[in-house]
Amino acid sequence: MHSKEQISHDEYQKTSDWLMSHTKHRPIVAIICGSGLGMLADTLKCQDSFDYSDIPGFPQSTVQGHAGRLVFGELKGKSCVCMQGRFHMYEGHSLLKTTFPIRVFKLMGVETLIVTNAAGSLADSLRPGDIMIIKDHINFPGLVGLNPLCGPNDEKFGPRFPAMSGCYDKGLRSLVMELAKQMGVSSLVQEGVYAMVGGPNFETIAEAKLLHRLGVDAVGMSTAPEVVVATHCGLRVFGLSLITNKVVKSYEDSESVNHEGVLEVGRLRSQTVQQLVTELISRMEINNNENTNNVS
C-alpha cells in the first residue's frame, strides 16, 4: 500500500530555483484553483505564467477544468502564485506528486495557502452555488495510511508527528465571514467540514448516508493532502468549497451528479468566489515583509 517513492529536498529546491529564476515575482500567497475555478488567476496583474509541462519536476494535470498552468502575479499589492489546475490521487499521481507544489511554494517564500475546491453537499443547509468555508476536514485516505507524509520525514520541512487541529486558520475564517457580510453575500456563505474521498466515482447512496451520519457537510476528492503538507511545513491555510451539487442520499431521488454540472456551477459563481478571495488577500495581514513583491 505504501509507495517507496521519495522526493528529496534538492528536487523541491531545484523546481523552486527554476521558477524564481524565470519570474521576478516573489509570492507570499499561493492559491489552488478547484474544478471550474481556474478564473481565480485572471485577477492577477503583471502575470508570468508557465505550463506545468515546462516546469522541471512538476506533474501534469489531466482533468477537464484544470488548465495545468502556474500563474504568478500581483493582487492588491501582494505577490501571489496561482495553480490553475491541481493534482488528484485518482489521476494516478502519488500523494507526494499530488502535493509537490506545496513544498515548492514554501521554498519560494509563500506564507499563506488558499485552497479552493468544488464539492457536493451533504448538509441540508448547503445548496448548489453556496460557499462553504472549510472549518476542518476528514481525510479518509489519510485515515487508512494514504498520507503524503508517510515515509521518511524531512525535518527541514516539519516534524514527524505534526498536529492537525486548527489547520484551517481561525483568523482567516472569521475575516472571510466578515467580508461576506460586507459584500452582501453572507446568505451564501457558511462554515463546515469537508471530507476527502478517493474518487474518481461519485458516492453511492449508502456512502452518502454514511458521510452524512458522520457529520460531513461537503465531500470532494482533493484538498486534504495539500492541507496536510502545507500545515506540516508551517503554512497558514484558508480553504473554501464551492458547493456544486447535492450528494444524492435517497433511493427515491432520481437526480445524479456529473463533472460538467460541477464545472457549470463553478462558472456561475466564479465572480463571487473571485471577489471573496481578492478581498481576503487584500485584507489579510502578512507576517514577514521580506518576500513582498519586488517586481521592477
Ligand X SMILES: O=P(O)(O)O[C@H]1O[C@H](CO)[C@@H](O)[C@H]1O
- Chain contacts with ligand HPA (rule: CB under 6 A): 118-120, 202-203, 219-221, 244-245, 247, 257, 262
99 binds ligand X (CB under 6 A): no
- Spell out the long-range contacts of 214-217 with Cβ–Cβ below 8 A and sequence spacing 24 or more: 214/138, 216/122, 216/138, 217/121, 217/122, 217/123, 217/126, 217/132, 217/192, 217/193
- CB-based closest residue to ligand X: 34
Q: Which is nearer to ligand X, 107 or 219 (CB)?
A: 219
Q: In which residue are the cell numbers 459584500 written?
A: 183
CB neighbours of residue 53 within 10 Å: 11
Distance in Å, CB of 87 to ligand X, minimum: 9
Q: Which residue is nearest to ligand HPA (CB)?
A: 120
Is 35 annotated in a binding site? The answer is yes
| Contact (Cβ atoms closer than 8 angstroms) between residue 47 and residue 82 | no
Q: Give yes or no: 259 in active site.
A: yes
Closer CB to ligand X, 15 or 61, in the complex: 61
The answer to whether the beta carbons of residues 199 and 88 sit under 8 Å apart is: yes
Q: Which of ligand HPA, ligand X, none sits in contact with 219, Cβ below 5 to 8 A by type?
A: ligand HPA
Using DSSP, state whether 193 is helix, strand or coil: strand
Distances (CA, A) of 247 to 64, 103, 112, 208, 255: 21, 33, 31, 7, 9
**To the nearest whole angstrom, how small is the minimum distance from the Cβ of residue 54 to ligand HPA?**
28
Alpha-carbon span 129 to 208, nearest angstrom:
20
Distance CA(29)–CA(110), nearest Å, equals 5
Active site residue 183: no
Q: List the catalytic residue out of 52, 61, 88, 132.
A: 88
Does 84 bind ligand X (CB under 6 A)? Our answer is no
Q: How far apart are CA 157 and CA 148, in angstroms?
A: 13
Among 35, 84, 121, 293, binds ligand X (CB under 6 A): 35
9 included as an active-site residue: no
Integer CA distances (angstroms), 94 to 12, 30, 91, 198, in order? 15, 21, 9, 12
Catalytic annotation present for 118: yes
Reply yes or no on whether 285 is catalytic: no
Q: Could you tell me the smallest distance in angstroms from the CB atom of residue 67 to ligand HPA?
A: 18
The interface region with ligand X, picked from 125-133, 159-167, 214-222, 224-232 by CB under 6 A, is: 214-222
Name the residue nearer to ligand X (CB basis): 116 or 291: 116
Could you give the C-alpha distances from 233 to 22, 58, 109, in angstroms and in order?
Answer: 24, 19, 12
The residue behind cell 502575479 is 73
Query: Is 255 considered catalytic here?
Result: no
Of 259-288, binders to ligand X (CB under 6 A) are 259, 262
Query: Is residue 22 flagged as an active site residue?
Result: no
Annotated catalytic residue 91? yes
C-alpha distance across the termini of the chain, in Å = 49
Nearer residue to ligand X within complex by CB, 40 or 221: 221
How far apart are alpha carbons 130 and 140 in whole angstroms?
24
Q: Which of 102-110, 166-174, 218-226, 232-240 is the region at the interface with ligand X (rule: CB under 6 A)?
A: 218-226
Binding-site members are: 35, 66, 86-88, 118, 203, 222, 245
Contact residues toward ligand X (CB under 6 A) are 34-35, 63, 86, 88, 117-118, 199, 220-222, 259, 262
Binding-site members for phosphate are: 35, 66, 86-88, 118, 222
Which residue numbers are catalytic? 35, 66, 88, 90-91, 118, 221-222, 245, 259
